[in-house]
Structure 1
């Protein structure tokens, strides 16, 4: 990052958003057509500001525009919450999705993703999280008799230095089962995929193995297995057993042989792990499965620190737009960390950003780099 810039910290923070791509998307989808006041550049800045400050409603965001600094940043002297509402409901989700994916590409480049494959097998963790919605306002997302909800299906890149970031996502109604979404996320033979038992599908595991994709998953304890071979374990292993098995009943049995590990987690529960990797030690496989905590932490962080608990619009498009915007904010924090080689956590980066939001960017940059602020 340029440490000697006239940009405000706010402008520096969102500067990784590709302005050429932004303008191209606005033009392609004609998002500024017939617009008299609330142009997309101003609107997206308002939404980013709202995410930073966890602004809970469009009415509150409308009131925030009375800030002179926010007026200068957006070019707006005032805006009604009804205009904001019409905007959030009208923007196609592909607009925010494309910006999110472009930021992911930048993170890939910063982390030298391709080169690090030689160091260790990159992990991609797949999981989902349900975002509850009140049934009365969101009837299109009916989940149960008394409530609605959407489900964020996500793939998280987990690497050896602890850089964790989402690189692919899809949104469905909460009623959709996880299992049907797995194929969307399996597209890289150089990675090892980690997912929980919600994605259990013997036929798909066979296809993944035949196509050269590797995975570690959790198997239900009552799953029918036939042991083909038992492997020996070192004396100090944390794994209870290591076997080659075929899974399923006679009518529905896997065509490939898999590896079944049994171990006890930190809470004393016995876990059964299934994988098609036979070239790694049992303890390495067990350690890899523990990396699933990263995606749980990601969902927890999003729900605690980003504004996806209350939604600005009631339409499916408005909800999806807000979720993608939250992931854009997360990616901007990752890039801020990478661009400064900072050891600060994302929450610290956000706190310092809010503290120096309208001040010169180099003050914020020095703070997150761990240098003294003059």
Structure 2
């Protein structure tokens, strides 16, 4: 388990000094906020926003620090300022509720005429976050190996860390099982099917597939997840072949290949390798089902070469594709094509809300593991930020079936 100490947050502990950029950030942000149905209240007086007293409210406790952070790095500054406590939510305001109006207007928060200059402010992904074999292991460890106990405090009993698929008012665990069954059905998994799962998580899908009578191989590069998954396989009484191996190194032939929200951690540079590996491993007549977070293609093109808060603090090396980018990679590097798809975007907003509620409810137990208040605010912002993105459709998530159409 990675210990998160009370210090060791250099981007948070030290407020950048960028007076000219801070003034520019303030000048750009004010007219934008004044068009939004929110209130932004500043310590010492002053209010921005088109909202009223019933609207979502941001309380800026340290205005100078906030604008210096935004000026120094517009894509990272808001999240770091929340982590540092420079701003917080107002009374009776939920964090995702506050972030939603911003997410709805994400493409125009910076005036369109000024967007041409983003090339001068966007940071490139650090070289150490490249998803080579070794880089992937470091990136995965930075998030998934934090602590199994941490994730157990906010995930449902299945330990599924991806979008659920709800039907009415059912609970999260049932919705996660529906999601898993949707993936397995899309891949045609039945008794005797040779299944490969790329990205084991904590084993819920592998268990479900084995319970169908499938021959299951699941692979991961997270040692923490592998340890708990093996324990869960034994408790469930299923026979699953778990291998601690990178997807680039797996061999064999499989009737069905499944991969849930793993493509986001592959990195654009390695998408051709990822899809080519799936194509190589899939038996004639086989089916693939992947669950992938996506964004609109024009947004993907604008963000593909930039480094943001999520990549710095949550998912190093991560990049969200578009459906078009997936189609292009399949066409150029495989014999596969998307033959069925199902959106779970609104289900993800609900999933994230439930995770955040559980995280907050169980914070005392999480804190006992050695995680500090900066970590708490970081994860609150992460979960709420993503919830808002899915709620307004800035982000989506799809279950995609891939087959070789000529074999159909």
TM-score range, shorter chain: under 0.3
Task: Give the alignment's TM-score, normalised by structure 1.
Answer: 0.28
Q: Relative contact order, CA 8 A, sep 6+: which one is greater?
A: 1
Please give the TM-score of this superposition, normalised by the length of structure 2: 0.26
* Larger-gyration structure (1/2): 1
